[in-house]
Structures are given as C-alpha cells and as structure tokens.
Amino acid sequence: MALYKRELVRQQNRGRRKAVPGDHLAPFFKDISQLNSLDQITFLCIGTDRSTGDALGPMTGTLLEERGIPHVIGTLAAPCDADTLEKRLGDIPAHHTIIAIDACLGPKDATGTYYVSGTALRPAQSVGGNLPEVGEYSVAAVVNANGPRPYSILQMTSLYLIMGMSRSIADAISEAWESETFHL
C-alpha cells in the first residue's frame, strides 16, 4: 500500500476505540513509535496506589521507570490521581505527545482486555468523576465489570490481574521502542 494511503487509513482509524487482548498491544504502540521518538513522549499513568483496581496506572508507570523509559508521570511512589492530575499535566512539555494509561470498568466479558485509541481518555469516568480529557493516544484497561458501586468494585479487583495487565502494557511499550529504551 502506498505511503499516503497507509497514512490515510491510520488517520481514519485513529479516533476509534478498539478492544484488544494484551498480546495485541505491541502493534498499537509500534504504530505510535513510528511517528514519535521516545524522547518526545510522556506516558501519563493515571490512578492511585490506594485502590487495587485503580493501581494499574501507577503500577505500569513504575514498571516503565524500572525499564529506563523516560518521561513517565504516575508511579506507585508518586501517583497521578484525581487530586494531582491537572497540576501534573502542567509539568509536561508542550511538544510532547501524551499517551494516557488508566484502568476502567466495562462489560464482564471485556475484563482483562484493553481499549486502545488514537484519542484522549477521560479519567474517572466509570466512577462519575469530572476530570479533563488527556492524551493524544490512550489505553484504558478493563480491570473489572461495571456495576452499581464502582468504588467498591475497584477496591475488590484482583491484584494479580492488575499486575499482569500492567506488565503487558509495559512489555508492549518496551518492545515498541526497543532500540530507544534506556536500560538501567
């Protein structure tokens, strides 16, 4: 396919949210890596370490930092949560492309999958939060089934699931920017 046609298809698909299993995250990040060098990307890993289900973002951020990935906001040591999100957004250089990573609730049969998109993500939407949309690209990891008490559901989410999903995201990012990754 000619280069201009590939770019046209990429632009048309950019706005769609697509559900993928963990082993299909690498192509999503590889496409981004072909358009953006690692030193011009900020990984915005949203969530808190005080709720198992919502710890996916900070756990992913910690794994990325451990692998030497630069420009990570939101780790277990310094989470980027509802209270700090807007301030932390101000720390991101204007020329950086933001990839937002967050946990979400979804249909029961979607638990363990990821919604990837070339559009912004609205943090805290499943719990009724009113935070600004963030990111040029986004990954929303479905950590549990949505229900009537979303905060309780997030509290009772399996830590094992969160660790595995975080590892899948970090692995896919490391693979996509393998030649640029700075190993400690």
Strand partners, 80: 46
Mean pLDDT of the chain: 87
How many beta carbons lie within 10 A of that of residue 148, not counting itself?
A: 6
pLDDT of residue 89 exceeding 70, the answer is yes
Distance between CA atoms of 25 and 23, rounded to whole angstroms? 6
pLDDT above 90 as % of the chain: 68
pLDDT at site 125: 65
Report the pLDDT value the prediction gives residue 1, as an integer from 0 to 100.
Answer: 41
Residue 18's pLDDT band (boundaries 50, 70, 90)?
confident
Q: What is the pLDDT of residues 45-73, one digit of tens each?
A: 999 999 999 999 999 999 999 999 999 99
- For the segment 101-126, what is each residue's pLDDT rounded down to a tens digit? 999 999 999 999 999 999 999 887 66
The pTM is what? 0.86
Q: Which of 133, 96, 119 is nearest to 11 (CA)?
A: 119
pLDDT class for 181, splitting at 50, 70, 90? low
| CA distances to 34, 96, 144, 175 from 54, in Å | 30, 25, 10, 25
